[in-house]
Structure 1
Amino acid sequence: MKKVLVVTYYWPPAGGPGVQRVLKFCKYFSAFGWEPIVLTVQNGEYPSIDSTLLSESKMLKVYKSNTIEPFTLYKKIFNKKSVSTFALDHSSKGKMEGMAQWIRINCFIPDARKGWIPFAVRLGKKIMAREKCDLLFSSGPPHSLHFIAKKLKEKFNVPWVADFRDPWTDLFHLDGHKRLKTAQNLDKKKEESILSSADIITTVSSSLYDLFKQKREELRVEIITNGYDEDDYTDVSKTNGIHNKILISYIGGMAKSQIPYSFFKALKSITSRGFDAILRFSGNVHQDVSTEINNLSLQKQIEYEGYVNHKTAIRNMVNSDFLLLVIPNTSNNRGIITGKIFEYLRSKTTIICIGPADCDAAKIIHDTRSGFIFDYDDSNGISELIMSPKPVTSVDFHKYSRKSLADQLCSIFSELTP
Structure 2
Amino acid sequence: MKKVLMIAHQFPPIGGSGVQRTVKFVKYLRNFDYEPIILTRDASNAALKDETLLSDIPKGIKVVRTNACDFAALPGIFKYFGKVVNKLLIPDSERVWQHFARKQALDAVKDNKIDVIYTTSAPYSDHLLGVYLKKHYPEIPLVCDFRDEWTNNPYHVRKGLRAKIERDQEKMVLKYADCLITNTPVMLSNFLRDNPETKGKFYVIPNGYDDEDFVGMEDIKPANVRFTLTYTGLLYGKRKPDNFFEALKRAIDEGSVDKSKINVRLIGNYKVDQLQAVIDSYNLSDVVALMPYMKHRECLLELVKSDALLLLEPSGPGAEAFYTGKVFEYMNTKRPILASIPERGAAAQLITDTKTGLVSDFNDIENTKKNLIHLYNCWDNGTNPINPVIEEVKKFERKELTKALVEVLNNSFKK
Which amino acid in the other structure matches residue 228 of structure 1?
A: Y
1:9-53 Cα deviation digits (max 9, x unpaired): 011111111100000001111111111111111136644111111
Stretch deviating more after TM superposition (183-192 or 341-350): 183-192
Q: How many angstroms does 1:222 deviate by?
A: 0.5
Distance 1:288 1:333, change over 3 A: farther
How many Å separate the matches in 1 of 2:84 and 2:155? 13
Q: How many angstroms does 1:377 deviate by?
A: 2.6
How many Å separate the matches in 1 of 2:76 and 2:249? 40
Residue of structure 1 in register with 2:393 after alignment: 397
Which amino acid in the other structure matches residue 415 of structure 1?
A: N
- SS of match in other structure, 1:300: coil
- SS of match in other structure, 2:145: strand
Stretch deviating more after TM superposition (163-172 or 401-410): 163-172
* 8 Å contact from structure 1 (residues 25, 402) kept in 2: yes
Distance 1:277 1:397, change over 3 A: same
TM-score, normalised to structure 1's length?
0.89
TM-score, normalised to structure 2's length?
0.90
1:126-145 Cα deviation digits (max 9, x unpaired): 11111111100000100011
- SS of match in other structure, 2:311: strand
How many Å separate the matches in 1 of 2:99 and 2:90? 15
Distance 1:414 1:248, change over 3 A: same
How many Å separate the matches in 2 of 1:333 and 1:298? 28
* 8 Å contact from structure 2 (residues 227, 307) kept in 1: yes
Distance 1:407 1:285, change over 3 A: same
Gaps of 5+ in 1: 80-96
Residue of structure 1 in register with 2:128 after alignment: 147
* 8 Å contact from structure 2 (residues 71, 83) kept in 1: no
Selected match of 2:340 from 334, 351, 354? 354
Matching of residue 282 in structure 1 with residue 267 in structure 2: yes
- SS of match in other structure, 2:320: coil
* 8 Å contact from structure 2 (residues 155, 237) kept in 1: no
- SS of match in other structure, 1:353: strand
How many Å separate the matches in 1 of 2:342 and 2:159? 30
| Mapping 1:173-252, distance limit 5 Å | 173-175=155-157, 181-219=160-198, 220-237=201-218, 239-252=220-233
How many Å separate the matches in 2 of 1:140 and 1:223? 15
How many Å separate the matches in 2 of 1:271 and 1:180? 42
Selected match of 1:138 from 92, 106, 119? 119
Stretch deviating more after TM superposition (277-286 or 197-206): 277-286
Identity of aligned residues (%): 29
Gaps of 5+ in 2: 379-383
Question: For this pair of structures, how many residues does the alignment match?
Answer: 395
Selected match of 2:238 from 251, 257, 264? 257
Selected match of 2:97 from 116, 126, 130? 116
* 8 Å contact from structure 1 (residues 6, 138) kept in 2: yes
Selected match of 2:327 from 337, 341, 344? 341
| Mapping 1:15-414, distance limit 5 Å | 15-43=15-43, 46-57=46-57, 59=59, 60-73=61-74, 76-77=76-77, 104-105=86-87, 107-157=88-138, 158-175=140-157, 181-219=160-198, 220-237=201-218, 239-272=220-253, 273=255, 274=258, 276-285=261-270, 288-375=274-361, 376-379=363-366, 380-389=369-378, 391-395=385-389, 396-414=392-410
How many Å separate the matches in 1 of 2:396 and 2:73? 36
Please report the RMSD computed on the Cα atoms of aligned residues, expressed in angstroms.
2.1
1:199-229 Cα deviation digits (max 9, x unpaired): 1110101111112112211211110000000
Residue of structure 1 in register with 2:381 after alignment: none
* 8 Å contact from structure 2 (residues 71, 82) kept in 1: no
Q: How many angstroms does 1:371 deviate by?
A: 0.3
1:63-94 Cα deviation digits (max 9, x unpaired): 11124222223x74387xxxxxxxxxxxxxxx
How many Å separate the matches in 2 of 1:238 and 1:47? 35
* 8 Å contact from structure 1 (residues 261, 377) kept in 2: no
